[in-house]
Amino acid sequence: MITHQLYAINIGTAFSLAPQGSIIGWADIHIFPKLKHQGLHLPPNSAK
């Protein structure tokens, strides 16, 4: 039966989810600079 309660979270899960957005943002700027994103405003020459 599903109770919709969180009893525990693995420490590896917490460490993998916490910096996920910043890592993806960095990769979008430095590794994939030609990708187009909606609502993402980057300063000129930010990929250098």
Strands (E), 1-48: none
Q: Which amino acid is at 17?
A: L
At 39 the pLDDT is 60
Rounded CA gap, 41 and 7, in Å?
39
Number of domains into which the chain is organized: 1
Q: C-alpha angle 27/47/28, rounded to 5°?
A: 25
Q: How does pLDDT run along the chain (48 residues), one tens digit per residue?
A: 577 777 777 888 877 877 888 888 888 888 888 877 666 666 666 555
Q: Residue 6 sits in which domain range?
A: 1-48
At 33 the pLDDT is 80
- Token pair recorded at residue 10: 């693995």
At 40 the pLDDT is 60
**How many residues appear in the chain?**
48
Contact 24, 6 (CB under 8 A): no
